Amino acid sequence: MPDARPTTDTLPRHTPERSCVACRRKRPQVEFVRVTKQEGVWAVQLGKRSGRGAYVCSDSPACWQDKKLRRAFGAQAVQVAAQLLERQAPAS
């Protein structure tokens, strides 16, 4: 029997959806890294939620390039990109 692969169109209605600031893809919020602006500084936020938020795919290195983030974070895109990459650094 045909089993349709799940797409973003078939997500449960109550799943909060956000768009990635780099690729504009819509995904459930849990698949994003949240970046918040506090006192004028954008920083990757892994715990509490506060301030103005932006979302970047948590599993897509293509979305962590400062070139792609510049639209959302301007001159701070380089710092945000570095933080996103650091996140993925293997813990040893």
Calculate ∠ Cα 49-21-63, nearest 5°.
105
Q: Is 22 in the site for Zn ion (CB under 5 A)?
A: yes
Q: Is 23 in the site for Zn ion (CB under 5 A)?
A: yes
Which residue is listed with tokens 């995904």? 27
From candidates 33, 35, 54, 63, binder to Zn ion by CB under 5 A? 63
From candidates 57, 80, 81, 84, binder to Zn ion by CB under 5 A? 57
The answer to whether residues 22 and 63 touch, using CB atoms and an 8 Å cutoff, is: yes
Q: Is 72 in the site for Zn ion (CB under 5 A)?
A: no
Shortest reach from residue 24's CB to Zn ion, in Å: 7
Shortest reach from residue 26's CB to Zn ion, in Å: 10
CA distances from 36 to 19, 26, 43, 82 (A): 14, 18, 6, 15
Q: Report H helices in 36-76.
A: 66-73
For binding to Zn ion (CB under 5 A), which residues are involved? 20, 22-23, 57, 60, 63
